[in-house]
Chain A
């Protein structure tokens, strides 16, 4: 067995397992932690798929920034209280699980019919696509074909930051009194 095969077959169960585990956690912080584990496994997968840049970005951005932000908010709001297990909507749970299973089965059938379980992809990926290293190759594609989307996403980030500031700012005392009425 090759190294990448070994890595895959070790981390794939961890990935799926941590995902399922996240579902079962009643405490939000625990769920966040399991999600972080999942992100790490995904990072490994990127590495296996000859995308080292994404491997790093996944860890730094997703696991390191986004999940931390999540945890900040959870702690800030104090919503780590355990969620009750009682499901008020009947049939929601069974239906959801059934649909999830149906989706998985459908997709596996589609994958089998589409590309089959054998294709592996070109062996010369590193020489052909990742010329000069993944980062350089990526930058070549990014700043040429995808230049415009690149600029747009930068604007998007600015807008997101401003939006967050506007949304979450505390009002003056007078406005806060009006807000209290609703709750």
Chain B
């Protein structure tokens, strides 16, 4: 098993290289090649999984040293890939969902002239994401981190002729950069204070005794900044809604199922640091909870189907961070898994809708699509039920565990807020499904169902969204929590709070209430929601713009940033750096101008020089006699 771990990222990278250089010649084959390498990675991951579980519980760890990278003095960061329960879980999710989305993309992107390059970028992304989750040290993780950021930029701006897409790509990159830089400082601190960047050495249980807890607070908060950027939490969330300018498979893969979950993975991986610092965990909790509620309300005001899903992703990620803040790391990962299924499903469904409507994405121009697109509708409804938390779908189990954990840990206010967020979540997604698939049709052209290459992945994801709950039926004894025990430790039995049955009833009730209200307003036809939207126009605009956060950034941070950038580029870059280089050139020129006056062309001057030299030489030789 050990020797083959490196193939898991290597195969997608190879696919990317082939498609980059020979993509155009391959034509349609480029897509199947892209699918092949990712599916092969997934197959290999399954095999690694089988090998992993064959080992006894506390020995489930394998690290492959692929090659030496940096060995300088006491600092060493090599390309080591780590397979343990956490990275295995992430790996299966990434490669599995990626395979399905690659298949879907063959249908979705078939008319695009840059077909081959799309798959090259997608493969490149998968390669980097695998590096990220399999990295055994912080530097390699950072390489993967930056790599997926790069691919995100490339893929959001895939249709770079569109100004909005190009701007969105830039915005994504710059916003995450802020988080990434702080994260890098955190990584440097880790090395300075803890002496190594290897997970094996640094993420042990005993590490917390070696330094005062303040150190871990700082490190955790810095790493958290990176996670906030990558996972689009407040205040660095603004890039994700705009990232919907990219092709829908990109939104599904990167901005729903995998890249944005990297932040959650990071916090889960470094939970030792966070656990050592109460402050950091509280911050995580608050950030997650506030983001969950905020994004849910913002999703309520969106008219673009993809933007609803984008805000939904932000909100669900908020729930994951909330779970992390409650020290229920396993629950957060479980939500990550189920969310990957149903969010990818809904994104691909939205893509199918847009494909069928020839590019239309405004929900006000949809409606009643059920009769033309049965498969899409049915699978989408499964996704809706899952995200709302209706049993027996997977989302119910994952959300339920988190809400219950809030109650068990005596964070009562947090629990109540999370219930409100859950209600709004059900509400906005009900609004989406009723506006799009039910009711009277407002479409301008008659749509068509998507081809099997697109609908089969939808069905497979729907199956996943349905049965994934089996992974963790119970928060303490479920398969996933016990599998993740070597990394997170045992999950404590709930002691405080209300009994399980009560809590479950409350959360299901909240979900059904949300769906009911949604049906009543948007699905039953009894309420003229279009007039409602106009009457509450101000509120709707407030919500739709994300509580005007973007606008406030544009008025404050962006001009400030432009000022600094202008200073750095014209002030420092042009005047100091270019100036010094040019000065050297000018100096050489001036020296040459002086020096060349020796070349008078007159033989007598040269003879004079000769003679001077000769005389000096005679003197020297004579002095030595």
Contact = CB atoms under 8 A, between A and B. Distances in A.
Nearest to B605: A89
A110 B622 contact: yes
Interface stretch (B151-159, B247-255, B449-457, B606-614): B606-614
A95 B618 contact: no
Nearest to A103: B615
Given A96-B611, A113-B625, A114-B625, A107 B602 contact: no
A103 B622 CA distance: 11
Given A99-B611, A113-B625, A92 B618 contact: no
A107 B617 CA distance: 11
Contacts of A96: 608, 611
Contacts of A106: 615, 618-619, 622
Nearest to B600: A89
A99 B625 contact: no
A99 B612 contact: yes
B615 A99 contact: yes
A92 B604 CA distance: 8
A10 interface: no
A112 to B, nearest CB: 9
Residue from the set B605, B614, B615 with the largest chain A CB neighbour count within 10 Å:
B615
Contacts of B614: 103
B602 A89 contact: yes
A165 to B, nearest CB: 25
* Residue picked from B602, B608, B622, most chain A C-beta under 10 Å: B622
A107 B608 contact: no
Contacts of A110: 618, 621-622, 625
A159 interface: no
Interface string A90-130: 00100110010011001101100110000000000000000
Query: How many residues of B sit at the interface, in one of the four size bands?
Result: 10 to 19
A107 B622 CA distance: 8
A107 B604 CA distance: 23
Contacts of B615: 99, 102-103, 106
A109 B622 contact: yes
A151 B24 CA distance: 76
Contact of A95 (B608, B621, B622): B608
Nearest to A113: B625
Interface in B540-573: none
Dominant secondary structure of chain A at its interface with chain B: helix
Given A89-B602, A110-B625, A114-B625, A103 B618 contact: yes
Contact of A113 (B605, B608, B619, B622): B622
Contacts of A92: 604-605, 608
Contacts of B625: 110, 113-114
Nearest to A98: B615
A106 B623 CA distance: 9
A96 B615 CA distance: 11
B250 to A, nearest CB: 74
Interface in B575-625: 602, 604-605, 608, 611-612, 614-615, 618-619, 621-622, 625
Contacts of B621: 110
Contacts of A102: 615, 619
Contacts of B602: 89
B607 to A, nearest CB: 9
Nearest to B622: A110
A114 B625 CA distance: 7
A113 B458 CA distance: 106
A69 B602 CA distance: 26
Contacts of B618: 103, 106-107, 110
Contacts of B608: 92, 95-96, 99
A170 B586 CA distance: 50
A102 B615 CA distance: 7
A87 to B, nearest CB: 10
A106 to B, nearest CB: 5
A151 to B, nearest CB: 32
A110 B619 CA distance: 9
A89 B604 CA distance: 9
Contacts of A99: 608, 611-612, 615
B140 to A, nearest CB: 71
A96 to B, nearest CB: 7
Nearest to B619: A106
A38 B622 CA distance: 28
Nearest to A110: B622
A45 to B, nearest CB: 23
B178 to A, nearest CB: 68
Contacts of A113: 622, 625
Which of A95, A96, A106, A110: most chain B CB closer than 10 A?
A106
Contacts of A114: 625
Interface string A119-157: 000000000000000000000000000000000000000
B624 to A, nearest CB: 10
Contacts of A103: 611, 614-615, 618
A9 B621 CA distance: 30
A103 to B, nearest CB: 5
A13 to B, nearest CB: 25
A110 B625 CA distance: 8
A110 B612 CA distance: 18
A57 B615 CA distance: 32
A117 to B, nearest CB: 15
13 contacts: A89-B605, A92-B608, A95-B612, A99-B612, A102-B615, A103-B614, A106-B618, A106-B619, A107-B618, A109-B622, A110-B621, A110-B622, A110-B625
Given A89-B602, A89-B605, A96-B611, 15 more contacts: A89-B604, A92-B604, A92-B605, A95-B608, A99-B611, A99-B612, A99-B615, A106-B615, A109-B622, A110-B618, A110-B621, A110-B622, A113-B622, A113-B625, A114-B625
10 A-B pairs with least C-beta separation: A113-B625, A110-B622, A106-B618, A99-B611, A102-B615, A106-B622, A99-B615, A103-B615, A106-B619, A109-B622
Interface of A: 89, 92, 95-96, 99, 102-103, 106-107, 109-110, 113-114
